[in-house]
Amino acid sequence: MSYEWRNTSLKIIGTLFCACVLIFAFSFVSNAEFSGKTIAETYDLPIGQSVYDGDSILGEFDNMKVPLLSNARFIFNEIVSLDLGGLLLTVSTGTVPFDFSTVSSGHIDSYGKAYGFDGPGYLTLDGDNLVVHPPDTYIWGYSFPYKVLTKTSSGVDVVENGTVIDSIPTEEIKNTDYANDYYNNTTIVNWFNSNKEGSNFTLERGITSFSDGRSDVSFKQVESIFGSNVSDYVAAYPDGTPIVLYMGNTTETEGELAYTSLGSHPQYGDSIREYNARQFVDAWNNTVIPPESQGNGRAYVDFGSAVDPDAPGGAASHGVCPPARALRNVVLAEGFELPVGMVNDEDAVLFGFHPSEDIKITNNHDYPVKIVMWTEGSGTGMLIYAQIIRYEPTNETSTNSTNTIS
């Protein structure tokens, strides 16, 4: 070992020894008392906010520093990590980074960063301590209208999370640029012309009433936290739909398969019946229903009307009953109750129920299920299939893959 290196080592050891002596001395004059609860209240920490491994729990704060004199013990982290730059800054400013491990009961390091889990956790309180709760195997919530247009006597108000952020006069509505994959300016104009004052048109949906109690999120936060596939799903389904936002370690198993054919009823027009059957399949295919929840099909799905003197109003969306029978059969085979809006007859969908938004399927499992529907062929001989896919927790799987004909 060279003389220079030995001299440098002695200086470092001497500096660390002096720092330890100072910590020991200052510990007797320290009178600062902290708890996770008081820190959260004082610094307005975002309790309930979603966080990933490596994220800071400090929200808008870059860091949190406290007086060195009354909190000398916190300098120990800088010494252990050989943070010479941090030590120099602490000595020169008289402040030291707060040690969050002293007020945390899990998954928060000394510098306030989340660690030790996969997926979207969330910040919460465990008694008086801060803690980041790792994600459960399943996380779900309910969509709500975060940003809407509200019709007024003079046009529309743009309302975001309950606050009016803009007002658009009637003559300017046709020039708005609100649009996504499911609606555009023409959709909005048609809504305005056919609805009464006080009616709402949803522009963006957020998520509320999370299964694990975390805070509500806006539409943009849905994408940043849970990904674009989830935000696309939220945009496609009606307000109030239960949405599976995250799944951890699961295994897919297949439920029963059911199929039927479109058949011919020329008195209602077989071409419109085929159109409606395909619309029904599109409305329900890949719909995921969370555990112990009641789900529905997509929004923005139109069905054609066929003249029917026996139907209320003299018309009905004929053609939806064949795919509805296939869906009903796999739902009942799964042990679920008869869907709201359906009956156990050949004409499976009740009059007055929208075949996508108003039919409700209750998942009584403690894990999510996905509805898969597809067609083969065309015309009156078109085959229509339905199947349930289960997302069971790994190590708790079972298999049931028998087929039935409906």
Instruction: Report the Cα 17 to chain-centroid distance in Å.
Output: 51
- pLDDT at 402 > cutoff 50: no
- Comparing 402 with 328, which gets the higher pLDDT? 328
Question: How many CA atoms within 13 Å lie on the side-chain side of 108?
Answer: 26
Mark whether 311 and 406 lie in a shared domain.
yes
Mark whether 209 and 280 lie in a shared domain.
no
**% of the chain exceeding 70 in pLDDT:** 80
Closest C-alpha among 356, 289, 357, 339 to residue 140: 289
Beta strand 250-261 pairing with 138-151: unpaired
Residues 6+ apart with CB under 8 A from 166: 157, 158
Mark whether 31 and 45 lie in a shared domain.
yes
Question: Where a domain ends, among 183, 216, 243?
Answer: 243
Question: Where a domain ends, among 133, 159, 186?
Answer: 133
Closest C-alpha among 153, 165, 152 to residue 201: 152
With beta carbons less than 8 A apart as the criterion, state whether 177 and 160 touch. no
Mark whether 276 and 406 lie in a shared domain.
yes
Give the predicted TM-score (pTM) of the model: 0.84
Mark whether 116 and 170 lie in a shared domain.
no
Mark whether 378 and 254 lie in a shared domain.
yes
With beta carbons less than 8 A apart as the criterion, state whether 110 and 101 touch. yes
In the block, residue with structure tokens 């496609």 = 236
Mark whether 105 and 221 lie in a shared domain.
no
Mark whether 24 and 104 lie in a shared domain.
yes
How far apart CA 159 and CA 210 sit, in angstroms, is 23
Mark whether 228 and 269 lie in a shared domain.
no
Q: Which structural domain range is residue 391 located in?
A: 249-406
pLDDT category at 44 given cuts 50, 70, 90 is confident
Question: Where a domain ends, among 222, 243, 264?
Answer: 243
How far apart CA 257 and CA 147 sit, in angstroms, is 39
Buried b (16+ CB within 10 A) or exposed e, 320-357: bbbbbbbbbbbbbbbebeebebbeeeeebbeeebbbbb
* Residue 237 DSSP code: S
Mark whether 222 and 86 lie in a shared domain.
no
pLDDT at position 89, please?
54
How far apart CA 297 and CA 277 sit, in angstroms, is 14
Backbone angles phi, psi at 287, to 5 degrees: -75, 125
The least confident of 26-35, 61-70, 127-136 is 26-35
With beta carbons less than 8 A apart as the criterion, state whether 77 and 152 touch. no
Mark whether 22 and 50 lie in a shared domain.
yes
Mark whether 72 and 216 lie in a shared domain.
no
Domain tally, the chain:
3
- Comparing 349 with 5, which gets the higher pLDDT? 349
pLDDT at position 85, please?
54
With beta carbons less than 8 A apart as the criterion, state whether 406 and 261 touch. no
Beta strands (DSSP E) in 53-137 are 65-67, 95-97, 121-126, 129-133
